[in-house]
Amino acid sequence: MIRVVFNQKGGVGKSSITTNLAAISAAYGYRTLLVDLDSQCNTSQYVLGADAESPEDNIADYYQQTLGFSLFSREPMDFVHDTGFENLHIIPGHHDLLDIESKLQSKHKIYKLRDLLGKLKKDFDRIYIDTPPAFNFYSLSALIAADKVLIPFDCDDFSRKALYALLANIQETQEDHSENLALEGIVVNQFQPRANQPQRIVDALAEEGLPLFTSYLCSSVKMRESHEASEPLIYLAGGHKLTQQFIALFEEIEGVEVDVEQAQTAGA
């Protein structure tokens, strides 16, 4: 199963959601791969820490290879790195993604990510793709490569207005490139249960029939601590409220009954 976490708006928790869901997947026993397509490399830094600065054999190196700029050819697994967390692996991002985007577009390399992940699917139970905060070559490549898309949503009017353009882009991708791509659901993030506005916005989306997950994610300083420690929440604070919310969301997405104690123990 390949899932892409996508939103054209920045600051909605894309990298945090991608990484923490993948970490829970790994803690629960699934062999899991993260793919960092964002030139800011937040996901890579989250799980690799200082080792994310200049990793060789990153996703930009793969794209350079498709352009014929590499001196030697590498196999798909050569781009996969161990994170140090059991069952969790990553293809790191790199800032060179910005420099080569126009070359990739002009050479029509839009299906190359799908080719790479298609070869890696046999080695992994779950693949999670983090995307840049824009509808560009890389996010379109991720949508084409994925089976399902998750949309982070941060409960404000700007996000609600941007959501409709995002949904239109997903529909266009389905029609033009990937008819089997499914919108799996909208992840409500940074939810404030005591505030009226977030609940009002969420209720309005539900009334429109949009596929909202019922497991909401709240704001917490623990997330910033998790970023700073380069440890996803399941490893840093298995019993924390936000970790519990992520586990509940993972259970809802997977449609399975997750043993919370087992997941926490595995992540400890």
41 HSE (CA, 13 A, CB side): 22
CATH code of the domain containing 19: 3.40.50.300
What pLDDT is recorded for position 260? 47
What pLDDT is recorded for position 259? 52
Pairing relation of β-strands 32-36 and 88-91?
parallel
Distance from the first to the final alpha carbon of the chain: 25
Cβ atoms 232, 20 nearer than 8 A: yes
Q: What is the pLDDT along the chain (268 residues), one digit of tens a residue?
A: 999 999 988 889 999 999 999 999 999 999 999 999 999 999 999 999 988 876 789 999 999 999 998 778 899 999 999 999 999 999 999 999 999 999 999 999 999 999 999 999 999 999 999 999 999 999 999 999 999 999 999 887 788 888 999 999 999 999 999 999 999 999 999 898 878 888 898 999 999 999 999 999 999 999 999 999 999 999 999 999 999 999 999 999 999 655 545 444 444 4
- Stated pTM of the model: 0.93
Measure the CA angle with vertex 247, ends 245 and 252; round to 5°.
Answer: 95
What pLDDT is recorded for position 264? 44
Q: Which pair of tokens denotes residue 252?
A: 């809802």
- Non-local (6+) Cβ contacts of 19 within 8 A are 34, 43, 46, 47, 128, 130, 232
Give the count of domains, the chain: 1
> Strand order of the sheet with strand 182-188?
81-82, 88-91, 32-36, 126-130, 2-5, 148-153, 182-188
- Residue 237, helix vs strand vs coil: coil
What pLDDT is recorded for position 162? 86
Residue 79: give the domain boundaries: 2-267
What pLDDT is recorded for position 257? 59
Q: What is the pLDDT of residues 215-236, one digit of tens each?
A: 999 999 999 999 999 999 999 9
What pLDDT is recorded for position 91? 98
- Non-local (6+) Cβ contacts of 103 within 8 A are 67
